[in-house]
Amino acid sequence: MNDCAFAENNPEHLNVNLPDKPPLALDEVHHFGPLLPQAYTLLQSDFNMSGIETEWPVSFGENVFELRRIVADKIASSGGPTTEAFYRLLYRADIRETELKNALNNSVNSDFITVISEILIIRALQRAYYREKYRSKH
């Protein structure tokens, strides 16, 4: 069983050597792969607590790009930015309006939902990073 599969099946048992800083982009995820299961759980919770209750696959797939597709599908099927639940999701995930505008302005080849999906995943990875980092210190 690979490390990601083990961590996904045993999220409370992560033995992760964390980098010094949290992820800032999806292309950095190779450093944070073991945190993907925690990020996936956080994303599910954020969506549900925001009123976007939807069925999630048991697994997020093989990599962060499959996860991005899942999150994008959830955003699209929820009605996206035309709903109040979408804005509750952004608030719950602690996504600032300036962060959102910067990402949208800097994305050349991506559509709105893909950009939002990446922001949500990065933020979930950051939250998982800090939880793991400070849990390890105790």
What pLDDT is attached to residue 91?
93
Stated pTM of the model: 0.80
What pLDDT is attached to residue 21?
84
Question: 67 near 121, Cβ under 8 Å?
Answer: yes
Written as six digits, the tokens of 26 are 């999806």
* pLDDT at residue 64 tops 90: no
Q: Tens of pLDDT along 16-54?
A: 577 888 888 887 777 777 888 999 999 999 999 999 988
Average pLDDT (82-93) is 92
User: How does DSSP assign 51-71, residue by residue?
Assistant: T------SS--SSHHHHHHHH
Strands (DSSP E) contained in 26-135 are none
* pLDDT at residue 3 tops 60: no
